């Protein structure tokens, strides 16, 4: 069997190569929060540098206690014994897929990794279209129907992956949708795997509150989180899982810990030091998180306005740093440019407009759909100084390099709509160079 590199990582490498060769590309193709590390986190990393023992597989008592407190503050009382930390939530998701029996139901579209991980774990994957109002969750009626059909064909759909807010649509499910899904989980005896890695990046929690399915389907929901997105620590690889307080939850946790002991052993000691501090949520870190959230909201909103102006349909973003436009209204115009689906749309934007996006087909969406994900967090800047300027600005949209990138994207989408030419891609020093 051969494995392909994940499409988002492959695109990131391609963009880096082409930029190194001198091309000017606005990179919206990679789901990374491109912001500087908060200094307090660096201090903890340095302080933890002498932690060179392996330590317990699930993480030491201090870090598990910090994670338990984090969940408790979100309406999910948690015993540290029900927590496992790991090098990234990706590792935990794979271990869970391997440990939980049965087949998998995923929203369509969803994050690129769920389905390949399920296949790695020997499972059959069933995609269920998302509802009109949000991404990250299966449409409840379509979920019931998919389960019925899968069972008729002899499959055993048991695990549902939910993401809130989600990647790729940058939206989160309203509480009534989560309630319906929790009810279906009880009726159909499903396990919910709730990926809440973007939870702290809901743009306006007062206006659009978030509800974890673990508050409702307590005994059958496993929650995953991590620091890659909220604190821009993707490369530090810190993830955590919360298991239900039941005998089954304890068994699942033991299975995941056993898997961990044979693969990654434990989260690196210095990272446990960082995670203890971060999940403790000191005020200075919350203040920084609030500023990050404001930046994500402003730039995602600006991108939403651009795609709508460019003739696309799109769910308004409510969390994280993505928008997921649908250029179906331009199908005829695009056919004239040989753009007939997600892949050709992605290629056209890169080749003709210097804009890198990831086609919906990579998220399990219909290959013919004229949809893609734009990761807006890539626009904050190519250097630490640029990123800090975007973060510090009262109006990030007025910061030169952010404005230039948004303008270049707007010109690209105008070309799609046939409103203006876009050859060759715009050149701007702020948009070139290998990102840091
Ligand atoms: C929905 C979702 N879950 C999990 C991850 C992986 O995060 P980590 O860096 O913790 O492995 C990502 C990263 O892109 C993501 O978008």
Domain 7-30+284-431 belongs to what architecture?
Alpha-Beta Complex (3.90)
Per-residue pLDDT at 266: 98
Ligand 1 closest atom vs CA 110: 1
Is the model's pLDDT at 424 over the cut of 90? no
Is the model's pLDDT at 5 over the cut of 90? no
Per-residue pLDDT at 428: 41
Residue 56, classified by CB atoms within 10 Å of its CB into exposed (0-12), middle (13-18) or buried (19+), is: middle
User: What is the average pLDDT across 32-60?
Assistant: 96
Distance from the CA of 417 to the center of ligand 1, in angstroms? 33
Most confident of the following: 225-239, 344-358, 419-433: 225-239
Distance from the CA of 93 to the center of ligand 1, in angstroms? 9
- Out of 92, 196, 223, 228, mutate this one to test ligand 1's pocket (max ligand atoms within 8 Å of CB): namely 228
Whether residue 8 has its Cβ less than 6 Å from ligand 1: no
- C-alpha to C-alpha distance for 67 and 82, rounded to whole angstroms: 10
Is the model's pLDDT at 429 over the cut of 80? no
39-281 in CATH: which number? 3.40.640.10
Per-residue pLDDT at 31: 87
Is the model's pLDDT at 4 over the cut of 90? no
Distance from the CA of 237 to the center of ligand 1, in angstroms? 10
Q: Which position has the higher pLDDT, 391 or 414?
A: 391
Whether residue 107 has its Cβ less than 6 Å from ligand 1: no
Per-residue pLDDT at 12: 87
- C-alpha to C-alpha distance for 226 and 221, rounded to whole angstroms: 17
Distance from the CA of 238 to the center of ligand 1, in angstroms? 10
- Out of 90, 193, 275, 375, mutate this one to test ligand 1's pocket (max ligand atoms within 8 Å of CB): namely 90
Q: Taking the domains of the chain in order of start, what are their residue ranges?
A: 7-30+284-431, 39-281
Is the model's pLDDT at 435 over the cut of 70? no
For residue range 313-326, list pLDDT tens digits in order: 999 999 999 999 99
Is the model's pLDDT at 419 over the cut of 80? no
User: What is the average pLDDT across 352-367?
Assistant: 95
For residue range 374-409, list pLDDT tens digits in order: 999 989 998 999 999 999 999 999 999 999 999 999
Question: Same fold for the domain at 7-30+284-431 and the one at 39-281?
Answer: no
- C-alpha to C-alpha distance for 183 and 196, rounded to whole angstroms: 19
Per-residue pLDDT at 417: 81
Is the model's pLDDT at 432 over the cut of 50? no
Whether residue 234 has its Cβ less than 6 Å from ligand 1: yes
Per-residue pLDDT at 8: 82
Q: What is the DSSP string of 127-173?
A: EEEPPSS-SSS--HHHHHHHHHHHHHTT--EEEEEEESS-TTT----
Which of the four pLDDT bands, split at 50, 70 and 90, describes residue 164? Answer: very high
Per-residue pLDDT at 2: 57
Report whether 196 contacts 164 (CB < 8 A). Answer: yes
Is the model's pLDDT at 436 over the cut of 70? no
Per-residue pLDDT at 420: 67
Is the model's pLDDT at 176 over the cut of 80? yes
User: What is the average pLDDT across 399-426?
Assistant: 81
Number of residues written out for the chain = 436
Mean of pLDDT over the chain: 94
Distance from the CA of 9 to the center of ligand 1, in angstroms? 12
User: What is the average pLDDT across 323-339?
Assistant: 96
Whether residue 89 has its Cβ less than 6 Å from ligand 1: yes
Is the model's pLDDT at 427 over the cut of 60? no
Is the model's pLDDT at 289 over the cut of 50? yes
Q: Which position has the higher pLDDT, 433 or 259?
A: 259
Per-residue pLDDT at 423: 53
Answer positive or negative: Cα dihedral of 228, 232, 374, 344.
negative
Nearest CA to ligand 1 atom 14: 31
Ligand 1 closest atom vs CA 226: 10
For residue range 60-107, list pLDDT tens digits in order: 999 999 999 999 999 999 999 999 999 999 999 999 999 999 999 999
Per-residue pLDDT at 426: 44
Whether residue 197 has its Cβ less than 6 Å from ligand 1: yes
């Amino acid at each position: 069997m051969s494995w392909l590199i994940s499409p988002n990582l492959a695109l990131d490498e391609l963009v880096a190569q082409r930029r190194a060769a001198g091309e000017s590309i606005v990179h919206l193709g990679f789901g990374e929060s491109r912001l500087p590390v908060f200094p307090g986190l660096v201090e903890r990393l340095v302080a933890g540098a002498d932690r060179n023992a392996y330590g317990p597989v699930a993480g030491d008592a201090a870090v598990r206690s910090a994670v338990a407190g984090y969940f408790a503050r979100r309406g999910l009382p948690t015993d540290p014994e029900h927590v496992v930390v790991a090098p990234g939530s990706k590792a935990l998701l794979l271990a869970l897929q391997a440990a939980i029996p049965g087949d998998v139901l995923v929203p369509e579209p969803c994050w690129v990794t769920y389905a390949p991980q399920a296949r790695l774990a020997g499972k059959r994957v069933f995609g269920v279209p998302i509802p009109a109002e949000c991404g990250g969750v299966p449409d409840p009626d379509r979920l019931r129907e998919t389960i019925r059909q899968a069972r008729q064909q002899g499959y055993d759909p048991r695990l549902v992956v939910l993401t809130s807010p989600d990647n790729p649509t940058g939206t989160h499910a309203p509480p009534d949708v989560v309630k319906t899904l929790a009810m279906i989980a009880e009726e159909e005896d499903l396990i919910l795997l709730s990926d809440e890695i973007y939870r702290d990046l809901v743009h306006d929690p007062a206006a659009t509150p978030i509800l974890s399915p673990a508050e409702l389907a307590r005994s059958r929901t496993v929650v995953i989180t991590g620091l890659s997105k909220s604190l821009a620590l993707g490369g530090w690889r810190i993830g955590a899982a919360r298991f239900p307080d039941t005998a089954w939850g304890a068994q699942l946790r033991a299975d995941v810990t056993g898997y961990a002991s044979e693969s990654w052993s434990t989260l690196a000691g210095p990272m446990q030091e960082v995670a203890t501090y971060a999940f403790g949520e000191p005020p200075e870190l919350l203040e920084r998180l609030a500023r990050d959230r404001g930046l994500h909201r402003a730039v995602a909103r600006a991108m939403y306005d651009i795609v709508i102006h460019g003739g696309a349909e799109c769910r308004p973003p409510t969390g994280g740093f993505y928008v997921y436009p649908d250029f179906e209204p331009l199908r005829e115009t695009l056919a004239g440019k040989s753009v007939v689906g997600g892949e050709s749309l992605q290629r056209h934007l890169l080749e003709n407009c210097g804009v890198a996006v990831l086609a919906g087909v990579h998220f399990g969406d219909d290959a013919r759909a004229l949809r893609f994900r734009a990761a807006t967090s890539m626009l904050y800047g190519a250097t630490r100084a640029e990123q800090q300027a975007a973060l510090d600005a009262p109006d990030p949209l007025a910061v030169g390099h952010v404005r230039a990138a948004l303008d270049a994207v707007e010109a690209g989408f105008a070309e799609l709509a046939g409103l203006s030419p876009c050859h060759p891609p715009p050149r701007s020093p702020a948009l070139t160079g290998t990102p840091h």
